[in-house]
Structure 1
Amino acid sequence: MPLDRRRFCTLLGCWPLLALPRWSFAEPREVAMQILSINKPDGGVPNNSLPVVIYHHVIPPDVVDNADYLEHLFTSNGWPPQWRYGVYSFTHFHSNTHEALGVFAGSAKLQLGGEKGVVIDVQVGDVLLIPAGVGHKQISADDSFMLVGAYPPNISADLCHDEPAKLTARSKAVANVPLPASDPVTGHSEGSMLLWHSAATPSK
C-alpha cells in the first residue's frame, strides 16, 4: 500500500548524505525533452506562462532501484524529494511552488491544465516539471504507477482545487512564486534554467 504523500519521509531526509556510498549519487544527464505551453486559465486553474517541461528516459537502463535513483538525482540538483505516491484523480495545483514528478513505476494518462486541458501519457523514466498554478490530475493508470515528488528547498506545497471564485487571488500568488535556483534533472544548466528564465524575461 503506498504511503500517504503528506506523511512520507524519504531516507535522504533522515540520513546524512555523506553516509551514502559515492556510487549511489545520480548525476545530471542529457535527456530528451518535451515542452508544453499551458498559459491560459481554465475555470479556477490559473496555469502559468512558464512551460511544462517533460523529460523522457531519465533513468538509465542499468539502474536497479528507479525510485532511489530519482530521489538521488533530485537531491543532488537541489530539489529535495518529499513523497512517493500517484497523482490525485481530481484537478489540483499548487499556488506556492513548482513541482517535479518522477515516474519510477508503471504508466498513466494525466491531464494538464484543467478540465479542458491536454491529456498525456507518462511512463517509467519520465520526469514532469510542473510550474506553479498548472492543473494536473490522473485520468487512468496501471496498478503499479508510482511517482517521486519533489519541490525546491524549504517548501511545503499547498493543495488548491479548481475553484473559479478564488482564481484572481491564486493567480496573484502563482505570479509571485520565484524561479527555482536549479533544474531537478539537469542541475544548473539547460532545461528549465534556459526555458523558464527566457519565458520570464520581458521582450524588449
Structure 2
Amino acid sequence: MAHSPSLSILSLVLGLAPTTVALAAPVGAGQPEQLHFADDGVIPNSCLPVLLYRQVPLEGADRAAALERLFADNAWPPQWRYGVYSYHHYHPNAHEVLGVAHGQATLRLGGEQGQDVQVSAGDVVVLPAGTGHRNLESSADFLVVGAYPPDQQDFITQRADPAAHARSVGLIAGVSFPASDPVTGREGALPALWR
C-alpha cells in the first residue's frame, strides 16, 4: 500500500490528530519518513522521531529471514515473529523496530490521538522508547519481525494506563541511544536524527 501524505495533512486539518506532526521535511531517496508524537498524558511517546522506511530492498524469497539478517547485521538482534497487538501499548525501556515481512496493516502510532499509518510487506517502522502503537486492522497474512538494540532485549510491554505514565517517563529518560540504524547501519539516518 502506498503512503498518502494527503491523508496525514487531512487528519491534521480536520483535527483528528492534534498531537501529530507528519513529515517535517521532504523524504529523499533511501531516507525514512519522520513522524513526531507528543506526550498525551497516557502514552508518553518521545521527542525522537519515529522512522518509517518504505519498501526496503530485501534479498531472497523469505522476507522474514531477510529482515532478521538485516536487523542482526545492523546490531538490532531480532527477537520475534508475530503481528502487532490490537491494543495501545509502548515499551518504556526499549526502542523497537518492526519489519513487515508479509501482508499489510493499518497501525495507529502515537496513542489514541496519534496517526494511522498504512504499512505493507517491505516497510520498516523504528519506534523510539515510549511510542504508542497498535494494530487497527490487518490482512490475515500480516507478519512482523521485531528487534531491539542489544542492551534492550528485556523490554517491558506497557498498556496505555495513566497510572503508569510517570514511572514510564522516568524509564524512557534512561534508555540509551542505539549506535546503529536497524536498516542502514552506523552511517544511517538514526544516529544523526536521534541525538
- TM interval, shorter chain, is 0.7 to 0.9
The answer as to 2:43 corresponding to 1:48 is no
Matched, 1:151 2:148: yes
SS at match of 1:120: strand
Alignment of 1:15-94 (within 5 A): 31-38=30-37, 40-60=38-58, 63-94=60-91
5+ long unaligned stretches in structure 1:
1-29, 198-204
> Quick one: which of 185, 188, 195 aligns to 2:186?
188
Could you tell me which of 92, 117, 120 is aligned with 1:120?
117
Identical amino acids, percent of aligned pairs: 45
- 1:111 pairs with one of 108, 111, 115: 108
> Comparing both structures, which one devotes a greater share of its residues to strand?
2
**Within 2, Cα distance between the matches of 1:182 and 1:78?**
7
How many aligned residue pairs are there? 166
Q: C-alpha root-mean-square deviation of aligned residues, in Å?
A: 1.2
Q: List structure 1 segments (4+ residues) > 4 angstroms apart after TM superposition.
A: none
- 1:139 aligns with 136
CA drift of 1:181 comes to: 1.3
Once residues 72 and 188 of structure 2 are traced to their aligned partners in structure 1, the CA distance between those partners, rounded to angstroms, is 17
Counterparts of 2:65 and 2:34, CA distance in 1: 26
2:179 maps to amino acid: A
> How far off its partner does 1:32 sit?
4.3
User: d(CA) in 2 for partners of 1:34 and 1:82?
Assistant: 24
Query: Is the aligned partner of 1:96 residue 2:93?
Result: yes
| 3-state SS of 2:67 partner | helix
Gaps of 5+ in 2: 1-28
Amino acid in the other structure paired with 1:75 = A
Contact kept? 1:43, 1:163, Cα under 8 Å: no
Deviation sequence 1:18-54 (CA, Å, 0-9, x none): xxxxxxxxxxxx734211011x212421000000000
Q: Highest Rg: 1 or 2?
A: 1
- Shift of the alpha carbon at 1:175? 1.3
Letter paired with 1:181: A
